[in-house]
Amino acid sequence: MAFDFDAPTNRLETDSIRWDSFGVKEVLPLWVADMDFKSPPCVIEALNKRVQQGIYGYTHSPHQMNALIAGYLQEQYQWQVDPDWIVILPSVVSGLYTAVQQLSNSDENVLIPNPVYHHLRLACTSSNRPFQEMPLELKDDRWVLPSNGLSGLLNGKTKLALFCNPQNPGSTVFTKEELQEFGDFCVQNNLWICSDEIHAGLVLDENKKHIPLASISKDISKQTVTLMSLNKTFNFPGIGLAWAVAENPILRKAIQVGLHQTIAPPSLLAYTATMAAITEGEPWRQELIEYLRGNQNRIHTRISAIPGLKVDKMEGSYLAWIDCSSLNLPDPYQLLLDAGLATSPGSQFGRDQFVRLNFGTQRSRLNQALDILEKTFS
């Protein structure tokens, strides 16, 4: 391997949210979704060069940026996007909150999956939007759409559906058929869609590919805002740049509300990091996926040997969604924390008998975490 993902990194003194939130010496913090690896060398070099210029004035998005992103979407996902459909944002979360505020009124309902990344729910509650949860079901070790259909989830006032693909937590990389079912349902019921696809570059299952929901059909594309970013894949969320893809000009306009006013533009270094990742980051990404697959295998082996614990297929990303419900514990998260392992509590995502373990870390650290899990739950 050209890149050494086993190399230890020290995240102390970097003001890391993940590492500074607990007494570091006592707790192994594998919760918030960033990885413990350095960003790719090509990103570090590009940032170094840009910093050395010493000029940090107000900066517009580079002229080639949208075309570069469109080319990347074509190459990675065979998704043909007009560069003009792309809106550059500072983060996916700001896009989620804007989508909820602009694409629904306060008396209209929003459909969101459960379990799901908490900001999808918070985007609704913070804007006083009523929401209906779409309970995902575990089938063949994958979290999929409800088997009894989706129509019972609408109440006549539903206007917007939020979606997360690959799913967090639960890691489902949705198939073309599953996406078609969901997208067609939204089209038939005249729902706008906001699809959070930030984990797209992290598909671990060798038999799966990320398929953007909006790439399924023209009809779905016209109702969808897709939110994407390379922050997760190339591990620079502290620099932060995202983009929305919206074919429909109404949706594109909606997503731009507040941008450069209440929502700051990305920092100039964010353009540099994202462009370097697009143009030179692929070999690093490929090796990262290999390394994460090794971690994923380790988790499958060790967790399935602990009676009462279950984990799904982990088709994408680096977040293991561990089901502790058979153990009938009042609070599995707290038990692990008391034992020295900080996971994310399942309650954050809507299921309190689960914990989410971030395995975007060196194998030695993952082994420590699995030792704690084993000791605590055995």
Ligand X SMILES: Cc1ncc(COP(=O)(O)O)c(C=O)c1O
Q: Which is nearer to ligand X, 229 or 235 (CB)?
A: 229
One residue of 33, 100, 186, 292 binding ligand X per CB under 6 A: 33
Distance separating alpha carbons of residues 302 and 218, to the nearest angstrom: 44
Q: Does 235 bind ligand X (CB under 6 A)?
A: no
Q: Which of 201, 212, 237, 350 binds ligand X (CB under 6 A)?
A: 237
Residue of 73, 92, 111, 191 interacting with ligand X (CB under 6 A): 92
Residue 195 or 215 having the CB closest to ligand X: 195
Structure tokens at 147: 């088997």
Selected range binding ligand X among 55-63, 126-134, 180-188, 229-237, rule: CB under 6 A: 229-237
Compare residues 46 and 96 and give the one whose CB is closer to ligand X: 96
Per CB under 6 A, the list member of 68, 86, 87, 93 interacting with ligand X is 93
Told to check if 229 binds ligand X by CB under 6 A, we report yes
As a whole number of angstroms, the distance between CA 159 and CA 65 comes to: 32
User: Could you tell me which of 169, 171, 180 has the C-alpha nearest to residue 205?
Assistant: 171
Q: How far is the CB of 118 from ligand X (least distance, A)?
A: 9
168 near ligand X (CB under 6 A): yes
348 binds ligand X (CB under 6 A): no
Residue in 242, 276, 299, 324 binding ligand X, rule: CB under 6 A: 242
Single residue of 42, 99, 164, 246 touching ligand X by CB under 6 A: 164
Q: CB of 308: closest distance to ligand X in angstroms?
A: 27
Among 39, 61, 91, 224, the residue binding ligand X under the rule CB under 6 A is: 91
Q: Which residues pair with 242 in a beta bridge?
A: 89, 229
**Rounded Cα gap, residues 341 and 227, in angstroms:** 31
Stretch that binds ligand X, among 65-73, 87-95, 182-190, 207-215 (CB under 6 A): 87-95
**254 makes contact with ligand X (CB under 6 A):** no
Residue showing tokens 């671990």: 204
Segment lying near ligand X (by CB under 6 A), choices 86-94, 136-144, 251-259, 293-301 = 86-94
CB of 307 to ligand X, least distance (A): 30
Contact call for residue 233 and ligand X (CB under 6 A): no
- Residue 361 binds to ligand X (criterion: CB under 6 A): no
117 near ligand X, rule: CB under 6 A: yes
Closest CA to 333 of 307, 352, 360, 310: 352
Say whether residue 123 binds ligand X (CB under 6 A). no
Q: Which of 65, 124, 196, 221 binds ligand X (CB under 6 A)?
A: 196
Interface with ligand X (CB under 6 A)? 33, 91-93, 117, 164, 168, 196, 198, 229, 231, 237, 242
